[in-house]
Structure 1
Amino acid sequence: MTNRRKFLQGIAALSSFSLASCSWQLGNVRSATNSGSSDQLHLYTWTQYVDQELLQTFTTQTGIKTLADVYDSNEVMLAKLLAGGGGVYSLIYPSDYMVQKMEEQGLLIELNHERLQGIEQLFSQFQNPSYDPKNRHSIPFSWGTTGLIYNSAILKDAPEDWDYLWQNQGILNKRMTLLNDVREVMGAVLRMLGYSYNSKDESQIKQAYEKLLELKPAIASFDTDAWQNQMLAGDLILAMCYSVDAIKVNRENPQLKYIIPRSGSSLWTDTIVIPKTAPNIDGAYDWLNFMLKPEVAAMISQRMNLATPNRIGFEKLPNQIKNNQNLFPPNSLLERCERITPLGDLEDVYERYWTQLTSN
């Protein structure tokens, strides 16, 4: 898998909600067992999750200087850790399937829930997720879906499922993009064919590849980020995308609408973990408790257009945000979505077909 969920910078400016104006105080965020052995905390996170005001507020309240380095794919992050370059980081933000990979490779500490304040305030589905039962190694930070964004001013008949791309190949010719992500693209076609996003059947994977070969001549590019400006400029009329990016683009042009395909799609969660090499574990727990505060969760959701997994934080959001079904889809849609899961040796099969598809 390659680039993932890369927001445009400056989202914070879209909202007048300011940390500085919050009446709440962190108070008991500092862990009772914090030894104060380090006054610095280094995060390794997604580009779009860096909010300087958030970092400064945490520093002001705790005295811990917080610094962030960024990555744009789970694989880049993991490769750096495995190469020994992650020793400075006390917190990392892997996606759900990557939590499983990191745990299997013994890279994560098991969280002490007695040091966490507010984990019971998460929505029930995030308290025992399949990728990390009982949140033993991670806490959820944000979540979303994968779907299609289209220009409703041009496409009068709204797409309802993935097969719309094949049925309207002529209209969409060279004016649509798919994600530059093997598991998302292959998974979407597998769902359209009636299979699992995480199929381990090589004949099904081959069918998805052959179906994509039919569509490839009409695809402008496999792209995860640049489609946004192209859609806004009118060069594209449809793109496969992540919900967080679709919501951002829709706010700039309401005629660009997002749908979750009827046959199903992927459901993803980004998390926060503490690596075993963390130099400041006490500070890491302080940060986790800060992020678990409902007021902080609500602020992040409002400022960054993120779906919060925090139930109490969700209740504090304005109705306009709570009722945004692109951000918080109804269960009837979510029930048809799957999480991407590690596939072991089968991932090489996906990669082989993906290389053939994208290199010809």
Structure 2
Amino acid sequence: MSCSLTKFQVYLRRNREGEMDPKGDIWAAPYRWGCMVIAYKTNKFQKHKLAPVEDWADLWRPDLAGRISMVDSPREVIGAVLKYMGASYNTNDINMEVNGGRDAVKHNLALLAKQVRLFDSSNYLKAFGVGDVWVAVGWSSDIIPAAKRMSNVAVVVPKSGASLWADLWAIPAASRIQTNRIGGRIRGPSPLIHQWIEFCLQSARALPFKQEVIPGASPSHLQGHSANVPVELTKGGPRLNGNLVDGAPPPDILEKCEFLEPLSNSTLSDYHWLLTSIQEPGHGLIHKMYQNIISVAKFSGWFNSKLT
């Protein structure tokens, strides 16, 4: 398949076992993508003379204690700690690759847990919308539509980079199963499916993203392609405050962003240890994140929920 896939192919090429393989087949094609972002209420920040949010380090600021809501994904929460410490989301050996090792990560994770009022992927934006918190940390596909319905909200991608997600088109293998229920024919995908995918990947399809009709960014953005859209077509609608460009991080920040990769069993053990070590009696939020990681560990790999 042509166009726009180069930067994605390292994750999309898989072998028969579903593991990443540079020589494997392309199993899916992205039609939009986005990243983790931080939204904050500019009116509250101005009223209380607070510095704007720019990077992960701001989540540890004393003046924001109890004013933050965040998704309860263990990969995103611990990932934020790793980025704050100058490490990668995809750190394989925390003791060897992170300054201070597991104990330092544990310390910063415990501090973050005290800063965040609500870890809940379902309700973090509700708390933000009603004003219980002034900062919300979550996926751009959640936050951008919500922010556009509100006033006095800025949305930023952290300067040190964030995790990336992608929504994908895929052709299920089960679509070619033979069955007597439909006259014994082998039902396959539409012969037009490849044309449809090619159509979705055309650079001209970036217009809905440029108009902010669709939250996220076009795959062509990753390749530096830009559709020549008349300026008048992108005017008139409300624009988000922040550093997003056509629904994507600016180029200098995008270079620091990462797609989440499957974690090794030893790294999963580190995540278990981190979450259980800061768990306090009755601390349901940390317990919920721990249960999430336990359920994920039952599978052979841990993929970003946006990529599955």
* TM-score (ref. length: structure 1): 0.58
Q: How has the CA–CA distance of structure 1 residues 287 and 255 changed in structure 2, closer, same or farther, with 3 Å as cutoff?
A: farther
Say whether 1:231 aligns with 2:128: yes
Question: How many pairs are equivalent?
Answer: 238
User: What is the rounded CA distance, in whole Å, between the counterparts of 2:246 and 2:107 in structure 1?
Assistant: 31
5+ long unaligned stretches in structure 1: 1-118
User: What is the match of residue 327 of structure 1?
Assistant: 247
One-letter amino acid matched to 1:343: L
Q: How has the CA–CA distance of structure 1 residues 138 and 200 changed in structure 2, closer, same or farther, with 3 Å as cutoff?
A: same
User: What is the match of residue 189 of structure 2?
Assistant: 282
User: What is the rounded CA distance, in whole Å, between the counterparts of 2:188 and 2:166 in structure 1?
Assistant: 23
SS at match of 2:192: helix
SS at match of 2:72: coil
User: What is the match of residue 217 of structure 2?
Assistant: 307
- Is residue 69–residue 117 contact of structure 2 (8 Å, CA) maintained in 1? yes
Q: Report the RMSD for the aligned CA atoms in angstroms.
A: 3.1
Deviation at 1:144, TM superposition (A): 0.7
User: What is the match of residue 5 of structure 1?
Assistant: none
Say whether 1:189 aligns with 2:104: no
User: What is the rounded CA distance, in whole Å, between the counterparts of 1:300 and 1:281 in structure 2?
Assistant: 31
Q: How has the CA–CA distance of structure 1 residues 341 and 123 changed in structure 2, closer, same or farther, with 3 Å as cutoff?
A: closer
Deviation at 1:274, TM superposition (A): 2.5
SS at match of 1:144: strand
Of all paired residues, the percent bearing the same amino acid is: 25
Deviation at 1:217, TM superposition (A): 2.3
Deviation at 1:332, TM superposition (A): 0.7
User: What is the rounded CA distance, in whole Å, between the counterparts of 2:12 and 2:116 in structure 1?
Assistant: 33
- Given the alignment, which residue of 68, 73, 76 partners 1:176? 68
Deviation at 1:263, TM superposition (A): 1.8
User: What is the rounded CA distance, in whole Å, between the counterparts of 2:250 and 2:138 in structure 1?
Assistant: 19
User: What is the rounded CA distance, in whole Å, between the counterparts of 2:227 and 2:121 in structure 1?
Assistant: 28
User: What is the rounded CA distance, in whole Å, between the counterparts of 1:326 and 1:192 in structure 2?
Assistant: 26
- Is residue 147–residue 260 contact of structure 1 (8 Å, CA) maintained in 2? yes
Deviation at 1:298, TM superposition (A): 4.8
User: What is the rounded CA distance, in whole Å, between the counterparts of 2:149 and 2:53 in structure 1?
Assistant: 21
User: What is the match of residue 262 of structure 2?
Assistant: 342
Task: Give the alignment of 1:21-170 within 5 angstroms.
Answer: 119-122=1-4, 124-126=6-8, 128-132=9-13, 133=22, 136-156=26-46, 157-168=51-62
One-letter amino acid matched to 1:192: Y
Deviation at 1:316, TM superposition (A): 5.2
- Is residue 33–residue 219 contact of structure 2 (8 Å, CA) maintained in 1? yes
User: What is the rounded CA distance, in whole Å, between the counterparts of 2:121 and 2:106 in structure 1?
Assistant: 19
User: What is the rounded CA distance, in whole Å, between the counterparts of 1:297 and 1:281 in structure 2?
Assistant: 27
User: Cα deviations across residues 118-149 of structure 1 (Å, max 9, x unaligned)?
Assistant: x42436534x3445358721111211111211
User: What is the match of residue 256 of structure 1?
Assistant: 153
Q: How has the CA–CA distance of structure 1 residues 250 and 200 changed in structure 2, closer, same or farther, with 3 Å as cutoff?
A: same
Deviation at 1:337, TM superposition (A): 0.9
SS at match of 2:2: helix
